[in-house]
Structure 1
Amino acid sequence: MESNVMGKTVKAALLGATLLVAGFAATAQADTLADVKKAGTLAVATEMQFPPFDFLENNEYKGVDRDLFDEVAKELGVKAKYIDLPWTSVLPGLEAKKFDLVIAPVTITKERVKRYAFTVPISEATAALMKRADDKSINRPEDIAGKTVGGGKGTSQLAQVKEFGQTLSPQPTVKEYVDSNQSYADLAAGRVDASVNSLPNLAFAAAQRKETFAVVLPPFGKPSYFSWVGRMGDDDKSLIEAINTALVKIQKDGRLATIQKKWFGMSQELPTTVPEPQL
C-alpha cells in the first residue's frame, strides 16, 4: 500500500513538473510579432480627430499615420487593422491588449517612457499656439497672459501650456477639450483666445483656414517628438524592433519625406533612435 501511495506521489510530482516546464516554455515562446505574422493582421489604434496625422474625410481614414503605417505594414508583410477611439481610451486599450500598437502620435516624455515602449520618432512635436488671424493682441507666446487657451485633454502640449502659463502674469485660463477640433471651433467662435497643439498640427490647421487662423511663432515648448507606442515587456519587444527597422528604412529611402511633404508642406530630419525626452 505504502509503495502504491509513493508511486502515485512520484507520478503526480512528475506531472506537476512537466506542466510547470510546459508553462515556462509557453511563456518563453510568447511573441506578439510572431502572432501578428501568423494572423497576417496587425491591429493598431488611433484617434481620427487629429489632422494632419489622423482624420476622417468622407468617412475614409486619412493622414500622416495612415500613409506611414501602410508602408510599415508592407515592410512587415501584414495588413493593418485601423481602430478609431477617443484619445482618452487609446493608451488604456493598449494596456488591456485590445490591440497591439498605438499610432496616434504620442509625445515622448520622461513619465511615458517608464510605462510604454516607444518607436523611433515619426514627427517633430514641439508645442506651439494658434490664434485667430485677425487678432492683433497676440504676437508672441507670452501674449496669452490673462487670456483663455484651449487644448486637448491629456496631451503633453496642454501640460506644457499650463506650465508655461505659470510664468506669466496674469496667468492664462486653460480650457480642456476632448479633441483639438473642438478647441479650434471655439477659437474660431471667439470662446477661447488661442489653441495649443504641436507645431505640425497647427501649421496644417492654419494652412487649411488661412482667413481664420494664424500660428504664433516661435513655438514656446521644449523640442520634442511624436512616436508610436507599444507595450513594455519581452512579448512585444520584437514587434517594436521590427517597426523601428521599417521606420528607419522608410526614412532612408525617401518615402517618409514624401509623406511629410504631402501633409506638412516640408520634410523633417528625424532621429533614427528613440531620443532622451526633455519633457
Structure 2
Amino acid sequence: MAYRHLSHLLLFVLTLGLAAPSLADTLDKIRRTGTLTIGWVGGNPPFGIATDGAPEGYTLDICRQIATDLQTRLGLPALKIAYRETTWDTRFTALDANQTDMDCSASTITRERLARYAFSPAFYVTGTRLLTRKADKIRAIDDLANQPIALIRNTTGEKLVREYDAAASLGLVPVYVADAEAGLAAVRDGKARAFALDDIILYSQISAAANGPTLFEVVGPFLSIEPYGIMMRKNDAPFAAAVSDALASLLPTPKMPALYARWFDTATLKVPLNRLTKETFTTPNREPAFP
C-alpha cells in the first residue's frame, strides 16, 4: 500500500516538473504560436488609449518596439500582437493566469512587486500627487483632514495615501474608483475632494476634460518617486531577460525622445522630459519606487 502511495506521489511530482516549464516558457509559446499577448489598461492617456483598431499610447509604442526586437531575436517571419485590455487590478491576475505575456500599462516598479514579478528597466519616472478643483484651494494632502479622497485599488497611490493617513491621523475617507477618468469625475461631482495618482496621469485627465485646465489643478509635493516598467511573470527568466535586453537597447537611442515627444508634447498635453526620466534613457535601470 505504501509503495502504491509513493508511486502516485512520484508521478504527481514528475507531472508538476514537466508542466511547470511549459507554463513559464513564453519564448517557446511565441515561437509555436507566432503571437505575443500584451496586457494594457485603457482610459490612461498618454500610456493607454482605446481606438477603433489597436490601442495606442506611449507604453504600447514601446512594447511594439520590443515585439519587433523579439521577432528578430527568435527568427520569426512575422509576429502577431494580441491585445488584452485589463484594469489596474486585473493586470496582475492576467499575468498570473498566463492570459497576458507582459503588462504594457503604467506599472510602478516597487520592492513588493519585485518579489512577485519581473520588471524591465524603467521607461518613465513620475510620482504621486493630488488632483483637486482650483476653487477648493487645496495645496497638500494635509488640507484634506476628514475629507473624502478618490483612490484606485492596488495602485501605489492608494498605498501611499493609506500609509500617510495612518502616520498623520488625518481621518481620510477613501472613495474607490475604477480608473483615472472616474477619479476626476469624483472630484468634479464633489464625491471626493482630491484624487491621488501619478501626476502625469492626472495632467492627462485634466487636459482631456472639458474646461479641465480652468477647473482642475495638480497640487502638493511628490508623495513618491515612481519608475514605470514592463511587468512580467517572475518564473520566466528567459522571457524577462529578452524583453529587458530589448528595452535596454532601445532606451539610449534617438527613438526614445521621439516617442516621448509624440505623446507628451502635443496640442493638448505639454509635459517636459524630466531629469529622472532622461536618466533612465541614458542609464537603463530598474531601481524601485521611493519610499
**Does the alignment reach a TM-score above 0.5?**
yes
Displacement of 1:196 = 0.7
CA contact (8 A) 1:148 1:174 kept: yes
Partner residue in 1 for 2:101: 100
Could you give the per-residue CA deviations for residues 233-254 of structure 1, whole angstroms, max 9, x where no partner exists? 2xx2121111111212221112
Match status 1:253 vs 2:253 = yes
Q: Please identify the structure whose Cα radius of gyration is greater.
A: 1
Alignment CA distance shift 1:27-1:45 (3 Å): closer
Partner residue in 2 for 1:147: 147
Counterpart amino acid of residue 55 in structure 2:
Y
Displacement of 1:214 = 0.7
Could you give the per-residue CA deviations for residues 65-103 of structure 1, whole angstroms, max 9, x where no partner exists? 221111111121233211112332221121111221111
Partner residue in 1 for 2:220: 217
Displacement of 1:277 = 4.4
- The TM-score, its normalising length taken from structure 1, stands at 0.82
Gaps of 5+ in 2: 1-9, 72-78, 266-271
Query: Percentage identity across aligned positions?
Result: 24
What is the distance in 1 between the residues matched to 2:188 and 2:83? 31
Partner residue in 2 for 1:11: none
Counterpart amino acid of residue 275 in structure 1:
E
Counterpart amino acid of residue 25 in structure 2:
D
Displacement of 1:222 = 2.3
Displacement of 1:224 = 2.0
Could you give the per-residue CA deviations for residues 16-53 of structure 1, whole angstroms, max 9, x where no partner exists? 9xxx7xx769959x732133134222101122122221
- Map 1:68-217 → 2, pairs under 5 A: 68-77=62-71, 78-136=79-137, 138-168=138-168, 170-208=170-208, 209-217=212-220
Counterpart amino acid of residue 109 in structure 1:
T
* Range with bigger deviation, 30-39 or 205-214: 30-39
Displacement of 1:135 = 2.4
What is the distance in 1 between the residues matched to 2:58 and 2:240? 19
What is the distance in 2 between the residues matched to 1:60 and 1:257? 23
SS state at 1:249 partner: helix
Counterpart amino acid of residue 157 in structure 1:
G
CA contact (8 A) 2:148 2:194 kept: yes
- The TM-score, its normalising length taken from structure 2, stands at 0.79
What is the distance in 1 between the residues matched to 2:19 and 2:135? 65
Displacement of 1:168 = 3.7
The alignment yields a C-alpha RMSD, in angstroms, of 2.8
Partner residue in 1 for 2:231: 229
CA contact (8 A) 2:142 2:170 kept: no
Match status 1:273 vs 2:267 = no
What is the distance in 1 between the residues matched to 2:20 and 2:91? 28
CA contact (8 A) 1:76 1:246 kept: yes
Could you give the per-residue CA deviations for residues 110-151 of structure 1, whole angstroms, max 9, x where no partner exists? 221111111111221411111113322x02332222322102
Displacement of 1:198 = 0.6
Counterpart amino acid of residue 107 in structure 2:
V
Could you give the per-residue CA deviations for residues 151-207 of structure 1, whole angstroms, max 9, x where no partner exists? 211111111112122344543212111222111111112221111111211122223
What is the distance in 2 between the residues matched to 1:116 and 1:142? 33
How many pairs does the alignment contain? 258
* Range with bigger deviation, 179-188 or 139-148: 139-148
Match among 52, 60, 65 for residue 59 of structure 2: 65
SS state at 2:217 partner: strand
CA contact (8 A) 1:36 1:42 kept: yes
